[in-house]
Amino acid sequence: MSSKRDYYEILQVSKTAADGEIKSAYRKLALQFHPDRNPGDQKAEESFKEAAEAYEVLSDPQKRATYDRFGHQGLSGQGFSGFQDASDVFSSFSSIFEDFFGFGGGSSGARRGADLRYDLSIEFEEAVFGIEKEIEYEKSSDCETCDGTGAKPGTRPKECQTCGGAGQVRRSQGFFSVATTCPSCRGAGSIISDPCKDCRGQGTVHKSKTLQVKIPAGVDNGVRLRVGGEGDAGSGGGPNGDLYVVLHVNESEKFEREENDIILNQAIGMVQAALGCEIKVPTLEDEKTIEIPAGTQHGTQIRLSGLGVPKLRGLGRGDFIVVLNVITPQKLSKSQREALEKFAEVYQEDYSKENHKGFFQRVFGGG
């Protein structure tokens, strides 16, 4: 599998380029490599698709942020695979080609359905280990009464006489063969004289749909999962849009996450820190016994390798890091106070020296 070129390099823009600059750069390349200008040129078509893929990512704030952070691998992890051919580009960018050149790129009245967004809240542990969730959302679907034709049952749409069913009329404009939306059928390619009463001639109706969504292990807050073909229904035989599930991960009461590492702030007593001990700490899966060395200082980290978050785009897991917080008692009994006072007399601590050692290090660490 050949490696993909950098999207910023393809569009010849910097990584700080504004939206307008990105759109302008894409317009220039789309004009240069447009199939109508380069008939039969496979290399030009590949460049046309490559530029469109770069534009689709860099013009979308969320896709661009994912790409900037994780590169091509991050996008593939969310189901993004680019375009198969030039017609795939036209079906996705029909509106922008109308903005650029005053015409669409397709050859029929088929239109791709709209993409949909669903915001899903999941628990901290569910994001770490992955889970399958059932969601319910509203989407447009083909009307069952008319089988998506938009025509009353027993009748059929009639081919538009103006465009011959193409949905567009074409005329020459310089080196382009310019296609504009048919004024008679408005791009549908057909005319419905007796519309279906349930969908009112639209061919689609809004319905509630239940769907099982598989959430992979290692996802983080804000990750978008693409479910292909589960968006709104297309029209005129066009493909469905996609459903994007945006994840919102709830905070944990015990743990914090830093990329693939899990952080646990664990309190220990000053005597435990001074003398050393063994304690049990909760991890993502079960309790682990860890050893606290004598003379441990506040903020010391103990790392448990491979017990963190599974890596979403790779093998292995992050680490589990225990941060030790040494707690000084706020209330002492009479005997405790007397014991500490005797200790202070023996220890005679003095932190005024420039190269002093830590409290527990001097007492228990030697030197």
Structural domains in the chain, sorted by start: 1-106 (1.10.287.110), 113-157+192-251 (2.60.260.20), 255-364 (2.60.260.20)
pLDDT tens, position by position, 155-204: 888 888 888 777 778 776 555 566 777 887 877 777 888 888 888 888 88
Residue 69 has pLDDT above 60, yes or no: yes
Ranking 19-33, 161-175, 331-345 by mean pLDDT, the lowest is: 161-175
User: What pLDDT score does 262 carry?
Assistant: 93
User: Using 50, 70 and 90 to split pLDDT, how confident is the model at 296?
Assistant: confident
Please list the residues that pair with 320 across neighbouring strands: 262, 304
Is the distance from CB of 54 to CB of 10 less than 8 angstroms? Answer: yes
User: Using 50, 70 and 90 to split pLDDT, how confident is the model at 332?
Assistant: confident
pLDDT tens, position by position, 217-254: 999 988 889 998 898 888 766 788 899 999 999 999 89
pLDDT tens, position by position, 298-317: 999 999 999 999 988 778 89
% of the chain surpassing 70 pLDDT: 82
Higher pLDDT, 353 or 67: 67
Burial 241-257, CB ≥16 within 10 A → b, else e: bbbbbebebeebeebeb
Is the distance from CB of 151 to CB of 201 less than 8 angstroms? Answer: yes
User: What pLDDT score does 78 carry?
Assistant: 62
Residue 347 has pLDDT above 50, yes or no: yes
User: Using 50, 70 and 90 to split pLDDT, how confident is the model at 255?
Assistant: very high
User: What pLDDT score does 186 carry?
Assistant: 74
The three-state DSSP-derived secondary structure of the chain is: CCCCCCHHHHHCCCCCCCHHHHHHHHHHHHHHHCCCCCCCCHHHHHHHHHHHHHHHHHCCHHHHHHHHHHHHHHHHHCCCCCCCCHHHHHHHCHHHHHHHHCCCCCCCCCECCCCEEEEEEECHHHHHHCEEEEEEEEEEEECCCCCCCCECCCCCCEECCCCCCCCEEEEEECCEEEEEECCCCCCCCEECCCECCCCCCCCEEEEEEEEEEEECCCCCCCCEEEECCCCCCCECCCCCCCEEEEEEECCCCCEEEECCEEEEEEEEEHHHHHHCEEEEEECCCCEEEEEECCCCCCCCEEEECCCCCECCCCCCECCEEEEEEEECCCCCCHHHHHHHHHHHHHHCCCCCCCCCCCHHHHHHCCC
- Which residues lie closer than 8 Å to 70 by C-beta, 6 or more apart? 77, 313
For the chain, give the mean pLDDT.
81
pLDDT tens, position by position, 76-111: 766 565 665 555 555 455 445 544 544 444 444 467
Residue 3 has pLDDT above 50, yes or no: yes
User: Using 50, 70 and 90 to split pLDDT, how confident is the model at 135?
Assistant: very high
Give residue 284's region: left, alpha or beta (phi > 0; psi -120 to 50): alpha
pLDDT tens, position by position, 155-168: 888 888 888 777 77
